[in-house]
Structure 1
Amino acid sequence: MKQKFIDQIGNQHTFDTVPKRIVSLVPSQTELLFDLGLEDAIVGITKFCVHPFHFKSTKTIVGGTKNVKFDKIKELQPDIIICNKEENTKEIVSALQQICPVWVTDIYTVEDNNKMIHDFGELFNKRTNARKWIDKINFGLQDFQNFIKDKKENKAAYFIWANPFMVAGNQTFINELLKLNKFTNIYETKEGRYPEIELKKIRLEGDPDLVLLSSEPYPFKDEHAFEIGRFTHHAKTIFVDGEMFSWYGSRLVKAFEYFKAIHHKIA
């Protein structure tokens, strides 16, 4: 019997049977698919899909998130390709649609994240596993909200790139998680989702209490902390695990515990 599904950008998909061969072009979603019990169904991943570690040697690498090897994907004969609106371009998605159905996720909030997990549960007949992960996330969220409720607000700048320096802005999952931590993003009102900034204006543009230097996509080092520190007079600089702030999916369960550790460090 044909089943109809709608992805997070409103595309309708019809499947006669549960998709059995999956290509995932989003690292965090690869991890989620594994955690939902779909290891055997995953046939292709990107070079950035580093969790679980053994996938590097057991799955076919089909390029990066922005640089896809279409011929390799075609050879894998997938039933479905999993993409994300932010990670993969419109042009890539259009080209992939010539191969097979392309499911696109679009995630800014924890609610969006839970919807994605629910959708995958329906789509791949893993409803019980999906429910378990959603419950774990909701429990972790509630526990973290209790932990954070008496903490004071801190103004923050979350750096994702150097030379040029770029930060997380509005309409990003990172921004949502900053808010959850009571970190007021000083660049939330700046135009663009990942705006380029001038270091010398950082105090004028918000004077952060915290400078968060992400481990990905750019590997920040001590010299960047010193360079940024020249323009902030009192900000505490913290190197943070970028996966915890930007990976959606099952990773969130670990993120809540990680955030607690950051607050202990700040205190």
Structure 2
Amino acid sequence: MGFEVEVPSRPQRIISLVPSQTELLFDLGLGEQMVGITKFCIHPAEKVKNKTIIGGTKNFHFDVINALQPDFIIGNKEENYRDGILQLKENYPVWMSDISNLAEALEMMQQIGLVTNTAVAAEKLTQKIKTFFQKINSTLDLPTAYFIWRKPYMSVGPDTFIHEMLKICGFLNAFSAYNRYPEINAEQLQAANPTLILLSSEPYPFKEKHIQEFRNICPHAIVKLVDGELFSWYGSRLQYSAEYFENLVEEVKAELNFKNSNCRNDKSANQPL
């Protein structure tokens, strides 16, 4: 956001304003120093339940934050709201991340490790994630639509973290020419004609019952539910994403092969004797 942040040499009262970064702080061994989190910070479940809720990612309860007297606040440019961050900045050191790809996510982890005196743990974590992601070798180049919301349908465009994760999987974003989080109607989805449609578990909780809804629009597409956290959380949860992506790619390949096999069988059956 363009301002300097003076961080205490050893922050002892940390508030996290972002779920994925909250989990990261716990995984770096900073559970004792964590005093406040948002209502959306759900991991690690057994530890966050004992922390004070300071509101949502875009609705801070400043009276609660003031009562906690934090000496370090960690947020994110996209997930938090500018006015709230600027108000916090008047009284506290507020460190912000801005992430749209894997490299920036890894850099964020290392920087947080540096300013919280957990650099060794952060380096181990980032190396682990790098190693896992280097094993992904998908060349599917599969036209894909990824949906994050319903009524209205919302997808993801370029310059987003999910867009980059799709690319790593070998999925070509069907809406890469749109804005970052476009509203998509049924006609636009039909025109895009994706081979694969992914329905995220968050922020809208797509379920099995929604699959047929998209099959009615794109009857030839493969439609699958996916774990939104593993596509969009850019903290330590990334250590689980690579294996998930590898399994997902294999599942999609198997479904493609099955569909292609059925198509060939149908054509053979329709040949004149």
* Aligned structure 1 segments of 4 or more residues deviating by more than 4 angstroms: none
Question: Which residue of the partner structure matches residue 252 of structure 1?
Answer: 238
The Cα shift of 1:126 comes to: 0.7
Q: How many angstroms apart in 1 are the aligned matches of 2:50 and 2:91?
A: 23
Q: Decide which of 189, 195, 218 is 2:182's aligned counterpart.
A: 195
| TM-score, scaled to structure 2 | 0.89
Residue identity opposite 1:152 in structure 2:
L
Greater Cα offset, 235-244 or 192-201: 192-201
Q: 1:16 to 1:95 in 2, by over 3 A?
A: closer
Q: 1:175 to 1:16 in 2, by over 3 A?
A: closer
The Cα shift of 1:10 comes to: 4.0
Q: Decide which of 219, 226, 235 is 2:205's aligned counterpart.
A: 219
- Secondary structure of the corresponding residue to residue 238 of structure 1: strand
Mapping of residues 77-116 of structure 1, within 5 Å: 77-116=69-108
Q: 1:200 to 1:15 in 2, by over 3 A?
A: closer
The Cα shift of 1:140 comes to: 0.8
Q: 1:227 to 1:112 in 2, by over 3 A?
A: same
The Cα shift of 1:233 comes to: 2.8
Bigger Rg, structure 1 or 2: 2
Q: How many angstroms apart in 2 are the aligned matches of 1:53 and 1:96?
A: 27
The Cα shift of 1:203 comes to: 2.3
Greater Cα offset, 61-70 or 223-232: 223-232
Question: Which residue of the partner structure matches residue 242 of structure 1?
Answer: 228
**Any stretches of 5+ residues in structure 2 without a counterpart?**
255-273
Q: Does residue 177 of structure 1 match 2:169?
A: no
Question: Which residue of the partner structure matches residue 68 of structure 1?
Answer: 60
Q: How many angstroms apart in 2 are the aligned matches of 1:214 and 1:165?
A: 12
Q: How many angstroms apart in 2 are the aligned matches of 1:245 and 1:57?
A: 24
Q: 1:171 to 1:228 in 2, by over 3 A?
A: same
Residue identity opposite 2:224 in structure 1:
I
Q: Decide which of 150, 165, 170 is 1:162's aligned counterpart.
A: 150
Q: How many angstroms apart in 2 are the aligned matches of 1:251 and 1:223?
A: 27
Q: Does residue 230 of structure 1 match 2:230?
A: no
Residue identity opposite 1:79 in structure 2:
D
Q: 1:208 to 1:16 in 2, by over 3 A?
A: closer
Question: Which residue of the partner structure matches residue 135 of structure 2?
Answer: 143
Q: How many angstroms apart in 2 are the aligned matches of 1:222 and 1:121?
A: 39
Q: How many angstroms apart in 2 are the aligned matches of 1:104 and 1:87?
A: 10
Residue identity opposite 1:194 in structure 2:
Y
Count of matched residue pairs: 253
Residue identity opposite 2:182 in structure 1:
P
The Cα shift of 1:253 comes to: 1.1
Q: How many angstroms apart in 2 are the aligned matches of 1:16 and 1:87?
A: 24
Q: Does residue 41 of structure 1 match 2:29?
A: no
Q: How many angstroms apart in 2 are the aligned matches of 1:207 and 1:160?
A: 18
Q: Where is the helix percentage greater, Structure 1 or Structure 2?
A: 2
Q: How many angstroms apart in 2 are the aligned matches of 1:56 and 1:254?
A: 20
Q: How many angstroms apart in 2 are the aligned matches of 1:182 and 1:144?
A: 9
Residue identity opposite 2:215 in structure 1:
G
Residue identity opposite 1:221 in structure 2:
K
The Cα shift of 1:89 comes to: 1.0
Q: Decide which of 17, 32, 50 is 2:24's aligned counterpart.
A: 32
Q: Deviations over 1:43-79 (max 9, x none)?
A: 0001111100023431001111111111101100001
Residue identity opposite 1:123 in structure 2:
V
- Secondary structure of the corresponding residue to residue 15 of structure 1: coil
Q: Deviations over 1:150-185 (max 9, x none)?
A: x42111000000001100111110000000111000
